């Protein structure tokens, strides 16, 4: 538990210090700003499609921090030092997922408020998007750490990470965007279930990835 | 619990190639082992194998005590001041800031405590890496080329730190090209297998 908290604190400090939180948020807001330019200022159309756009933006924003989640620690020997101290790889992965979510989920939920104004979303839709992000971002964070650990040892891992992560995120985006139309219904439950599944599986997959990096 | 480190009939295969096989050593409190041999013969792999970072192809490693490893990777956050970067590991090892300042004193780096790690020179970074091992309070030190990039004065400090660790009943395993002043150390010369 001590090691979990230490890793969590260090990763949070690193993501705060290196602009790791700002970048996905700015990207998310930028997409929400650009979308009305692309489809025109038709309020009804924006309000109808805006929720889905926010989900796509959140997914793409989740790709940005992937290359700094695992690879720098692997190169600097930090993961080796954890291993020498007997810290389990699954615990490292779980701590990294938690830290990544704290630096990614809540800031994105805050950014969704101004973004929804730019897309002319009404209050009810905004509430559905916020609830959806609350349920879905842990899954995105887990997926991010998992993919980061699998691609950390590769050259140009960043490009591959996108190809690997986006298909795996399909359930999140389908049920996330679907939950906007039917508030609190089946889609939202499926969103929460897929997110929970990813959070449950990712520490083991990412742990195996971290172990494989040492070979 | 007395500190000990034993490996028997140890073999390592990397990328389908046998690096070494049939290595044996038994170390008790205060003893040291010096690994020598040409480049690429597997000295670093042997240290990583003892540390549990690589699986042994054959044979096994047993030890009593805590391990600390110093290899070519600093594992220190470049943006943090040196003392804080070392403090992260000391905290995880349960030794704390006192051990960090003792380690910095032992390696004559106390005046660098507030300097960010990224501004340290190569030799200073190397010493910082050793300070991490000193501050860990571990019983068994695994040092991979600890003398690389160190000046004469720092080498003397390193030798003194190793001697002090052994005097307290610690074990040291060193892979080194340079002659280090290790008194009555066991020597293990690795040679190319096959």
Q: What is the pLDDT of residues A76-107, one digit of tens each?
A: 999 999 999 999 999 999 999 999 999 999 99
The closest of A29, A209, A5, A211 to A119, measured between CA atoms, is: A29
Q: What is the arithmetic mean of pLDDT over A94-121? A: 93
What tokens appear for B160 in the block? Answer: 């003194």
Cβ A85–B92 below 8 Å, yes or no?
yes
Choice among A141-145, A193-197, B95-99 with the minimum mean pLDDT: B95-99
Of B52, B75, B92, the CB nearest to A6: B92
DSSP A88: -
User: For B39, how many CA atoms within 13 A lie in the half-sphere containing its CB?
Assistant: 0
Q: What is the pLDDT of residue A1?
A: 63
Q: What is the pLDDT of residue A181?
A: 77
Of B68, B77, B91, the CB nearest to A84: B68
- Let me know: does A74 contact A113? Beta carbons within 8 Å: no
User: What pLDDT band is residue B149 in, cutting at 50, 70 and 90?
Assistant: confident
Chain A CB contacts of B52 below 8 Å: 83-84
pLDDT in tens, B126-135: 999 999 999 9
Question: Comparing B143 with B185, which gets the higher pLDDT?
Answer: B143
User: What pLDDT band is residue B191 in, cutting at 50, 70 and 90?
Assistant: confident
Q: What is the pLDDT of residue B147?
A: 87
The closest of B133, B118, B131, B126 to B150, measured between CA atoms, is: B126
Q: What is the arithmetic mean of pLDDT over A157-173? A: 89
Q: What is the pLDDT of residue A146?
A: 95
Share of chain B above pLDDT 90, in %: 54
Torsion-angle region of residue A19: left (phi > 0), alpha (psi -120 to 50) or beta? left
Q: Is the pLDDT of residue A48 over 90?
A: no
Find, in chain B, the residue whose alpha carbon is nearest to that of A215. B54
Cβ B77–A10 below 8 Å, yes or no?
yes
Of A14, A78, A87, the CB nearest to B75: A78
Cβ B75–A77 below 8 Å, yes or no?
yes
Cβ B51–A83 below 8 Å, yes or no?
yes
The pTM of this model reads 0.91
| B53 in A contact zone (CB under 8 Å) | yes
| Beta-bridge mates of residue B63 | B5
| Rounded Cα gap, residues A59 and A53, in angstroms | 10
A32 min Cα distance to partner chain B (Å): 33
CA angle (A5 as vertex; B136, A25 as ends), nearest 5: 125
Q: Is the pLDDT of residue A27 over 70?
A: yes
Find, in chain B, the residue whose alpha carbon is nearest to that of A80. B53
Q: How far is CA B41 from CA A68, B7, B35, B45, B190, in A?
A: 33, 18, 10, 9, 6
Q: What is the pLDDT of residue B194?
A: 57
Of B71, B79, B94, the CB nearest to A77: B71
B 153-172 → A contacts, CB under 8 A: none
Other CB atoms within a 10 A radius of the CB of residue B11 amount to 17
| Rounded Cα gap, residues B125 and B121, in angstroms | 6
What tokens appear for B13 in the block? Answer: 């295969």
| A134 in B contact zone (CB under 8 Å) | no
Q: What is the pLDDT of residue A19?
A: 66
Provide the residue count of chain B.
194
Of B48, B53, B91, the CB nearest to A6: B91
Find, in chain B, the residue whose alpha carbon is nearest to that of A6. B92
Mean pLDDT computed over every residue of chain A:
90
Cβ B68–A14 below 8 Å, yes or no?
no
Q: What is the pLDDT of residue A101?
A: 94
Q: Give A7-28 as a DSSP string.
A: HHHHHHHHHHHTTTTHHHHHHH
Mapped to the 3 state alphabet, what secondary structure does chain B carry? CCCEEEEEEEEEEECCEEEEEEEEEEECCCCEEEEECCCCCCHHHHHHHHCCCCCCCEEEEEEECCEEEECCCCCCCCCCEHHHHHHHHHHHHCCCHHHHHHHHHHCCCHHHCCCEHHHCCHHHHHHHHHHHHHHHCCCEEEEECCCCCCCHHHHHHHHHHHHHHHHCCCEEEEECCCCCCCCCCEEEECCCCC
Cβ A76–B92 below 8 Å, yes or no?
no
User: What pLDDT band is residue A184 in, cutting at 50, 70 and 90?
Assistant: low
Share of chain A above pLDDT 70, in %: 98
What tokens appear for B134 in the block? Answer: 């000193």
A198 min Cα distance to partner chain B (Å): 28
Label residue A144 exposed, middle or buried (CB < 10 Å: 0-12, 13-18, 19+).
Answer: buried
| Rounded Cα gap, residues A46 and A65, in angstroms | 28
- Let me know: does B100 contact B131? Beta carbons within 8 Å: yes
User: What pLDDT band is residue B22 in, cutting at 50, 70 and 90?
Assistant: confident
User: What pLDDT band is residue B88 in, cutting at 50, 70 and 90?
Assistant: very high
| A14 in B contact zone (CB under 8 Å) | yes
Chain A CB contacts of B71 below 8 Å: 77, 80
| A5 in B contact zone (CB under 8 Å) | no
pLDDT in tens, A123-137: 888 999 999 999 999
pLDDT in tens, B95-123: 888 899 999 999 999 999 999 999 999 99
Owner of token pair 């990777």: B73
Cβ A85–B93 below 8 Å, yes or no?
yes
């Amino acid at each position: 538990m001590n090691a979990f908290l230490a890793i969590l604190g260090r990763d949070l400090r690193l993501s705060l210090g290196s602009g790791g939180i700002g970048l996905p948020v700015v990207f998310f807001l930028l997409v929400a700003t650009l979308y009305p330019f692309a489809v025109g200022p038709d309020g009804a159309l924006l309000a109808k499609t805006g929720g889905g756009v926010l989900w796509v933006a959140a997914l793409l924003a989740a790709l940005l921090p992937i290359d700094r989640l695992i690879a720098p620690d692997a190169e600097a020997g930090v993961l080796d030092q954890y291993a020498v101290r007997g810290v389990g790889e699954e615990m490292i992965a779980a701590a990294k997922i938690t830290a990544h979510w704290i630096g990614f989920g809540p800031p994105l939920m805050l950014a969704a408020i101004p973004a929804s104004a730019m897309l002319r979303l009404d209050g009810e839709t905004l509430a559905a998007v916020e609830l959806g992000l609350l349920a879905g971002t842990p899954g995105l964070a887990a997926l991010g750490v998992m993919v980061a650990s699998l691609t950390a040892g590769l050259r140009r891992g960043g490009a591959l990470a996108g190809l690997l992560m986006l298909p795996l995120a399909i359930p999140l985006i389908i049920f996330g965007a679907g939950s906007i139309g039917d508030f609190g219904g089946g889609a939202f439950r499926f969103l929460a279930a897929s997110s929970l599944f990813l959070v449950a599986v990712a520490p083991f997959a990412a742990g195996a990835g971290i172990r494989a990096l040492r070979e | 619990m007395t500190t000990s480190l034993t490996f028997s009939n140890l073999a390592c295969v990397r990328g389908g190639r046998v690096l070494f096989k049939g290595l044996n050593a038994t170390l008790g409190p205060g003893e040291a082992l010096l690994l020598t041999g040409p480049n690429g013969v597997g000295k670093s792999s042997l240290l990583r194998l003892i540390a549990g970072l690589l699986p042994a192809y054959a044979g096994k490693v047993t030890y009593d005590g805590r391990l600390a490893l110093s290899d070519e990777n600093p594992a220190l956050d470049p943006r943090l001041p040196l003392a804080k970067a070392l403090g992260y590991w000391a905290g995880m090892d349960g030794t704390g800031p006192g051990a960090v300042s003792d380690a910095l004193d032992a390696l004559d780096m106390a005046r660098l405590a507030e300097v960010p790690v990224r501004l340290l020179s190569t030799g200073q970074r190397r010493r910082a890496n050793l300070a991490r091992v000193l501050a860990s309070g571990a019983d068994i030190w695994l040092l991979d080329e600890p003398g690389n990039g160190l000046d004469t004065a720092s080498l003397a400090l390193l030798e003194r730190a190793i001697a002090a660790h052994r005097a307290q009943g610690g074990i040291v395993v060193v892979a080194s090209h340079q002659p280090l002043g290790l008194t009555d150390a066991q020597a293990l010369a690795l040679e190319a297998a096959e």
